[in-house]
Amino acid sequence: MDRSDNYDSNKFIDLARKAADERSLNIGRPLTYHVTTFGCQMNARDSEKLRGILEEIGYQPSDIEDADLVVYNTCSVRENANLKVYGRLGVLNGYKKKNPRMKIALCGCMMQEETVVEKLRESYRFVDLVFGTHNIYKFAEYIYEILCEDGLHVHIEKDSPVIYEELPKKRTYAFKSGINIMFGCNNFCSYCIVPYVRGREKSRDPHDIIREIEELAADGVVEVMLLGQNVNSYGRGLEGEPTFAQLLRDVNEISGIERIRFMTSHPKDLSDELIDAMAECDKVCDHLHLPLQSGSSRLLADMNRHYDKESYLGLVEKIRSRIPDITLTTDIIVGYPGETEEDFLDTMDVVRRVEYDSAFTFLYSKRTGTPAATRDDQIEEAVAKERFNRLLALVQELGHKRSERFTGRTMDVLVEEINRQDESLVTGRLTNNSVVHFPGDESDIGHIVSVKLSQCMGFYYLGERV
């Protein structure tokens, strides 16, 4: 993969820093920023890059109302996500009226939709900067621009020809971090907007990934989450075609790293080699997120998912026989165009047979530009909602039952924070990602503690240190 080594982001960080220094001299304090993130882990990681660049320029974090620069990193996977952003923009306009120095920047997946940018140009003139998912590495250049010249600046690119490696990052957590291993998606599931807003799939060079994780480990990170829309196809197009399984084994060797997670695994590309690597690598967490989308083979074919009900169930059986304790979670869409009661019962059947530990359930949302949106057999909202409620009830019932299986056991908990309701408790996660609360203090944060899970409260546990 060609790397964009000839773009000098540092040059623009320097220019923006000079412009920001001038401003802050005038107002007698440093400039401030606030970044709000919508959507998935990819966006969360992108926001860490945005914060990294902002802090290099000299901006300091603040409340949204007082910020000199507000950034919304948007998601467009479902229509609700877009509506939420428009709603928040109304509120931001109010803040900006009280604080006219405020600049507003919008970026992320939603900005890659042409109709969104048109709407912003027409009806949201108080926005200062719009940029897309392919040019985050030029953020400093854009900040420099808006500091020098008022008005709306729009920078959207159709795809990224390169992967830009050298960007500062400001981590949300000291002890855990997401790492992009690939960008974009080539799968074109019929309902999904991601391939259109994130561009074609590109894997990062394994050496760059390993180097980044080594640096993170040296900086105190113990848990990494390897990120890609379909990590199972990692390495395609790279020299030597490295596989995701190989990458997992290499990350497993990095000292200081204790836990390895990854998101997301497409069932069509989940290899035996990967199941072996998961079983054999001691740091890889006992958790697999394996999106089902639908249990109906007919709908799965229409969705362009390249697996069917039987092959999915077969895959689950194979994984469970190799890694018996594994926690399985999933994503399911209800109300896909043409979904019959029979199709839906197939979904219920798979859920009952797999017994997921938990599942994200979504009402199908029509995304303009995707093949499924052009279908004339869209499902009535009331029908979809009724099915959704039935599915949710089943998912919750099975989830409760599944989590009971760990009650009474002593397991490792990575402590993440002080409990938000009760300061005498800390909150952490098991390797299967379940939440555990137990007595502790600040000094436990970022450490792995052995905890007896004394009580299962449905979706979380109460425990005691052993």
Residues contributing to the site for ligand SAH (CB under 6 A): 77-78, 191-192, 194, 229-230, 264, 266, 291, 293, 331, 333, 362, 364-365, 367
Which neighbouring-strand residues pair with 27?
none
Establish if 453 lies at the interface with ligand SF4 (CB under 6 A): no
Of 188, 246, 355, 418, which lies in the binding site for ligand SF4, with binding defined by CB under 6 A? 188
Q: How far is the CB of 283 from ligand SAH (least distance, A)?
A: 23
Within 10 Å of residue 40's Cβ, how many Cβ atoms?
A: 18
Establish if 81 lies at the interface with ligand SF4 (CB under 6 A): no
At 277, list the tokens: 């690597």
Cis amide prior to 37 (ω within 30 degrees): no
Q: Which is nearer to ligand SF4, 220 or 338 (CB)?
A: 338
Q: How far is the CB of 133 from ligand F3S (least distance, A)?
A: 7
Of 76, 82, 177, 187, which lies in the binding site for ligand SF4, with binding defined by CB under 6 A? 187
195 binds, among ligand SF4, ligand F3S, ligand SAH, none (CB under 5 to 8 A by kind): ligand SF4
- DSSP annotation of 257: -
Q: What binding mask, one character per residue, do residues 147-186 give for ligand SF4 by CB under 6 A, x or -?
A: --------------------------------------x-
Establish if 42 lies at the interface with ligand SF4 (CB under 6 A): no
Cβ proximity of 235 and 203 under 8 Å: yes
42 binds, among ligand SAH, ligand F3S, ligand SF4, none (CB under 5 to 8 A by kind): ligand F3S
H helices of 99-153, where? 114-123, 139-148
Q: Which residues contact 227 (CB under 8 A, 6 or more apart)?
A: 41, 42, 45, 178, 179, 180, 181, 182, 262, 263
Q: In what order do the strands lie in the sheet with 176-180?
A: 176-180, 223-227, 259-263
203-262 residues in contact with ligand SF4 (CB under 6 A) are 229-230
Q: Closest Cα to residue 133, out of 104, 159, 162, 101?
A: 159
Q: How far is the CB of 261 from ligand SAH (least distance, A)?
A: 15
367 binds, among ligand F3S, ligand SAH, ligand SF4, none (CB under 5 to 8 A by kind): ligand SAH
Q: Which residues contact 29 (CB under 8 A, 6 or more apart)?
A: none
Q: Which is nearer to ligand F3S, 40 or 70 (CB)?
A: 40
Q: How far is the CB of 372 from ligand F3S (least distance, A)?
A: 16
Q: CA–CA distance from 272 to each of 25, 203, 232, 288 (Å)? A: 60, 21, 11, 14
Residue nearest to ligand F3S (CB): 39
Tokens 């390797």 appear where? Answer: 431
Q: Which is nearer to ligand F3S, 168 or 195 (CB)?
A: 195
Q: What binding mask, one character per residue, do residues 259-288 give for ligand SF4 by CB under 6 A, x or -?
A: -------x----------------------
Q: Which is nearer to ligand SAH, 5 or 360 (CB)?
A: 360
DSSP conformation letters of 81-114: HHHHHHHHHHHHHHHHHH-TT-EEEEEEGGGGSH
Q: How far apart are CA 300 and CA 309, in angstroms?
A: 8
